[in-house]
């Protein structure tokens, strides 16, 4: 069973990225995936305190809600992270989660013990109010580096400029449609990859 984890990184419930991610998850469900929704505002995630407590173990020493999220990241085949742009980056909620993946980075790069038992793919959804060409560049770099810590191959992003008020994305039905199709395609793509593997294909 294909497992999809949707991470809702906006503090605004029912806002634009929430709506888009929900569409993507509905698309994934349509293709038979088992979907879990994770709203970061429901979790208390302390920022990384740079204690290097994970360097020797690959495990974070801070015993907060993030401890429940690590296994979810590792058990999922597809991780769709949604965050609006706040000051050219992801939201604080999202960044706290990402910085805490330092433990996974340590496991992979210091302890040379990658988390790659199952095939994973990561995807990013974002919106911003302004229209600049570089609006998403910072966030995309951050998210790519995050996915790499647990060997989720970067599957791309779906981003929309000029979206500001709560629910404004609803005025763009083509965006919702794209999000739905993205969820479907991610699941179909992973299924295809797996059947190639089973057939002893080249990958
Ligand atoms: C603290 C804060 C910082 C923001 N920074 C930016 C920014 O740097 N660039 C931008 O285009 N929009 C920025 N925005 C606007 C949001 O990205 C925009 O309203 C978005 O639609 C919110 O998505 P949501 O409904 O999913 O929370 C910011 C909003 C807030 C509250």
Residue 15 sits at φ, ψ, to 5 deg, of -80, -165
Q: Using the mean position of ligand 1's atoms as its centre, give its distance from the Cα of residue 158 in Å.
A: 16
Per-residue confidence at 117, pLDDT binned at 50, 70, 90? confident
59 in any annotated domain: yes
The three-class DSSP label of residue 89 is: strand
CA of residue 152 relative to chain centroid, distance: 9
Across the range 136-149, mean pLDDT stands at 98
Q: Using the mean position of ligand 1's atoms as its centre, give its distance from the Cα of residue 62 in Å.
A: 29
The CATH number for 44's domain is: 3.40.50.360
203 in any annotated domain: no
Kindly report the pTM of this predicted structure.
Answer: 0.96
78 in any annotated domain: yes
Question: Residues enclosing ligand 1, CB less than 6 A?
Answer: 10, 12, 15-18, 84-88, 127-130, 135, 163-164, 166
Query: Domain of 31?
Result: 3-198
Provide the number of structural domains found in the chain: 1
Least confidently predicted of 30-39, 98-107, 150-159, 193-202: 193-202
Q: What is the pLDDT of residue 59?
A: 98
What token pair was written down for 195?
């059947």
Q: Using the mean position of ligand 1's atoms as its centre, give its distance from the Cα of residue 40 in Å.
A: 17
């Amino acid at each position: 069973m294909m497992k999809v984890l949707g991470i809702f990184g906006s503090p605004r419930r029912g806002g634009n990225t929430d709506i888009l991610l929900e569409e993507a998850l509905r698309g994934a469900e349509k293709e038979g995936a088992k979907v879990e929704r994770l709203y970061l505002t429901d979790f208390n995630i302390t920022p990384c305190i740079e204690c290097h407590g994970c360097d020797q173990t690959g495990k974070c020493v801070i015993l907060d809600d993030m401890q429940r999220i690590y296994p979810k990241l590792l058990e999922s085949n597809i991780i769709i992270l949604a965050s609006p742009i706040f000051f050219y980056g992801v939201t604080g909620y999202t960044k706290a989660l990402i910085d805490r993946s330092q433990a996974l980075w340590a496991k992979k790069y210091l302890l040379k013990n990658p988390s790659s038992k199952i095939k994973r793919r990561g995807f990013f959804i974002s919106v911003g109010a302004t229209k600049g060409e570089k609006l998403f560049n910072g966030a995309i770099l951050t998210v790519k580096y995050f996915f790499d810590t647990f060997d989720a191959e970067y599957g791309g992003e779906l981003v929309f400029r000029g979206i500001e008020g709560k629910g404004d994305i609803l005025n763009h039905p083509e965006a919702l449609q794209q999000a739905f199709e993205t969820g479907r395609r991610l699941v179909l793509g992973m299924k295809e990859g797996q059947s190639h593997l089973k057939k002893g294909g080249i990958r």
